[in-house]
Amino acid sequence: MAPGSSTCKKVDSHLSVSGHDIAISKSENNPTTSKASLGLGGKLGVYSTNGVQELLECPVCTNLMYPPIYQCPNGHTLCSNCKIRVSNSCPTCRHELGNIRCLALEKVAESLEIPCRYQNLGCQDIFPYYSKLKHEQHCRFRPYNCPYAGSECSVTGDIQSLVAHLKDDHKVDMHDGCTFNHRYVKSNPHEVENATWMLTVFNCFGRQFCLHFEAFQLGMAPVYMAFLRFMGDDNEAKKFSYSLEVGGNGRKLIWQGIPRGIRDSHRKVRDSQDGLIIQRNLALYFSGGERQELKLRITGRIWKEE
């Protein structure tokens, strides 16, 4: 029996990894259930999850490692992605890595149940180690990307921090209310270069909505497009609907739809044509005059579905 371990009857495998002794042990009461024991300095004992998680962090990228996990002959480990990046040389001792798998550490990982990385943002769920990564890709508490479309903004955060970011850093107009009446003017409407024109944020029903209006090329045809995005997930966005209306000279176009959540990127929504699309010739007809200047007025409203 391993010293200091009262629950382990039989040790099935053992390996020293970077100065830490790891044993995969079977419970005396349930031989089909595996547990991991970790001892420092050669002593075996019941591990702390935090200590094992540290062992599973790649020393190069600091991300948690998933199979295949590699080790050098001296027991230093790293993930498969970083093994390629370091040109087969151990980043700790510079020894040639080869293709030695750290099967013991991979087995230890199987026995772990650890919290979601977004625990500090509200996710209280705990997952088996190898299920955690899949969950985090879809966790409803994961940070949102900045919805601003005028540049490739890398800022992420929760909704309230992104609203403040849009207002302070991108100088986006903020409006309270569930109706809008916007006028868009462009002196040279023949210049269409995939440029975002405007983003406005509306605070409605205690939630935030992004109204986009832009010009871009749809195939060979220049078009103008307006659409709404909900600052939240799609399952919440489906609780709302919105309408957009544009017209002039006795003609009118009306669009009605459900706002898309900002998990879907601005480009994804735009390229799916999920919004009010106005061909340039029609937009100039709505503008009146000699069709030398774009003058569009778009009205709309947001309502909550019962």
pLDDT digit string (tens) for the chain, length 306 residues: 444 433 333 333 334 444 444 433 333 333 333 333 322 222 222 334 566 778 889 999 998 898 899 999 999 999 999 998 888 889 899 988 889 999 998 988 888 888 888 988 889 988 888 888 889 988 989 999 999 986 678 999 999 999 999 999 999 999 999 999 988 877 766 665 545 568 899 999 999 999 998 888 888 888 889 999 999 988 999 999 999 999 888 889 999 999 999 999 888 998 899 999 998 888 888 887 676 778 888 999 999 987
Number of C-beta neighbours around residue 298 at 10 A: 21
- Examine residue 77 and state whether it is found in any structural domain, yes or no: yes
Characterize the bridge pairing of strands 251-257 and 207-218: unpaired
Structural domains of the chain, count:
2
Last residue in a domain, options 66, 93, 111: 111
- Examine residue 259 and state whether it is found in any structural domain, yes or no: yes
181 and 92 inside one domain: no
- Examine residue 121 and state whether it is found in any structural domain, yes or no: no
- Examine residue 107 and state whether it is found in any structural domain, yes or no: yes
DSSP for residue 143: P
Q: What is the CATH number of the domain that holds 228?
A: 2.60.210.10
Last residue in a domain, options 62, 78, 111: 111
Torsion of CA 47, 49, 51, 53, to 10 degrees: 130
189 and 264 inside one domain: yes
- Examine residue 10 and state whether it is found in any structural domain, yes or no: no
Expressed as residue numbers, the domain containing 223 is 173-304
270 and 200 inside one domain: yes
- Examine residue 76 and state whether it is found in any structural domain, yes or no: yes
Angle, CA 66 vertex, CA 36 and CA 89 arms, to 5°: 105
What digits encode the pLDDT tens for the residues 225-250? 999 999 998 899 999 999 999 988 88
Characterize the bridge pairing of strands 294-304 and 240-248: antiparallel
- Examine residue 161 and state whether it is found in any structural domain, yes or no: no
Q: What is the CATH number of the domain that holds 62?
A: 3.30.40.10
- Examine residue 19 and state whether it is found in any structural domain, yes or no: no
Main-chain dihedrals φ then ψ at residue 162, nearest 5 degrees: -70, -35
207 and 292 inside one domain: yes
Q: Tell me the C-alpha distance between 205 and 60, whole Å.
A: 46
Last residue in a domain, options 96, 111, 126: 111
Instruction: Quote the pLDDT of residue 262.
Output: 95
